[in-house]
Structure 1
Amino acid sequence: MAQNPKVPQEFWAQYVVEKLWKENPHLALCYDESSFVTGGSVVYIPQAGAKPATQRNRSVYPATATKRADTALVYALDVWTTDPSHLPLAEQLELSYQKTDSVLGDHVSTLIEAVGDELLYNWIRAFKPAVGGGVTADNLPASKKIATSGADTAVNSVDGQTGTRKAFHYRDLQKGQAMMNKDNVAKGERYAMLESYMYQQFLDSLSANQMAAFQGSADLAKGIVGEFAGFKILDRSSVLAFTSAGVAVAPGEALGATDNLGCLLWQKNSVTKAMGDTKLFDDKGNPLYYGDVYSTLLKMGGRCRREDWKGVISIVQAA
């Protein structure tokens, strides 16, 4: 049997990106800083300093000139890798289907799920240089969180929670709209990613007329299930979670009984992503493994673009 041909890196990168965007539409609904990646691993975001003050009917001259103190926010790209997969030659000879395609598909799916979850988590953290070197991250402040306000509803135990939480109500999205308006956040390109059960609670809170208008505004090709209160809404099986003390739970960590699920609201230019290298490693006919070995790598990072957190809000379950 002839060996499987080597997969071109250009084809692999295009394949991964297309799948990544299809399964994680929010990756295309943020500011893209991939072109500003320095050294393949770090992104610098310039932050404008304070605006000049104004004075009516100035009478004292000369005016005092001040230099605007600009700063920069920095974040590093995470390097995501999959564990190598071994495809023995014996299986390649015996199987009637292309197991290679299936194995590579598993690697892509694993990367896509992990990267999509992590980016949402990174959007509610503020990275900054730590004393003595390195980087620390702050959580989304309490002032940018909205507690759900619906009726007490039993939680879905599959997430590891117990007890009841107040359901997501459409009024909670309206509060998010008012908060962004008050912060002078651009009214265009606002998005809301709702956790699946909270999304269903949102639908249950709508009147018949609201439901008709909501469904009529869907753009399923872009992953948008409808629009409400100025937000284009997306549905995802998992979005965010917080401890009862308000600390964000990292993706992949099991939820505690008292943890609370959260949804994310953002304006496109308030959050960012940057994508670096995408590589497939394949070792054909490895003499130690008597077959082929595959693994993959993807660099991706992101964060809130503003130090003041304007344009980023989480709606969090209230007990």
Structure 2
Amino acid sequence: MTSLYLSVIDPAEGTEALILGKCAPVGDIVREMVTKGGEQTRAPVVERARALSAPRERSVIAKAAADGATRHAELSGLGTGPTRLARDHAMLYFPSGGSTVRIESAGERDRLYRQAVPGFGVYTFILVGAEIERLPETDQARHRELFRLVETYAAAGGEADASPRPDAHVFLIPVDTELVGVPLFNQVAAGLSDRMRLQLIKDLRSRSQASLAARMEKGAGPFLVAGIEPDLLPDGSDAYRLVADLSGMGIEHMYAVVDAFDRGISPELGGRPESLAAIRDRLEDVVPKGGDQASGGGAATADPVWLFMLGGTDEARAGAAIGRFVLGVAAIFKNEPPSA
């Protein structure tokens, strides 16, 4: 209906007709009219809405108009970061091995991260830091670079089989379905990401992981949470997960982080906790021992401990070592160099 009014009559007159017709609450009408028409319609829409509404509605109208202008910019590809105005959510999949990017939607938001598509070997959920829009530019730049690399390199194949495989790793990112086509960082649904992060914090505290929970609550992020189940919050006290806290890390390390996760998984390790330990081993080489994590050559701003293995660290490390040894021996008998 708003599209009809914007195409044939003045935005103020369209706003008046919708309000007098009681088509929706005044805030919804203002937000939708400004979303469709952009900043140039904001003043006349607000003026007419105020003239037709009670004084108590003024703050509602002002916020709705601001949200509408922001949404118009986001839909036009002019957003500056993750959105908080998503109406429909989805989970974006970036599998390794050149598989096609997948978007999965669900009627219930929780199903997007509690019941992901089964069949992959490792699932890594990417979560943004709290109040990301208020973070310093250095922290936002780190997020932006991580998502750029995932979008550019993790989805580079494009023509391969899109079916889940146990030897494939997959990045999962909560997004706004209406923003498909804009840069990945701007597609991120910050509200859903926050919901996932807060539920994970609650889960960690219930498992006596208060220190890690505090990091995820206060850290700038981003946070990468990997597991072998299609569920951010798997049941069971022995559920294996690998958490990488990238807070304070320099953007020059983001490529190595994405590469460490995005490599294919050895078939022998697919769906097993040893695959997480193998990823952790790669990540331990991202920042040289004793080196700064922060960019610019200054003092490191990130904690030197940034990797956390949950659910049997020692056993997983030993299993990963054994798995790599077995693969190396097999490669020797095949007269081939062992894979990295």
The structure with the largest strand share of the pair is 1
TM-score w.r.t. the length of structure 2 is 0.23
Higher relative contact order (CA 8 A, sep 6+): 1
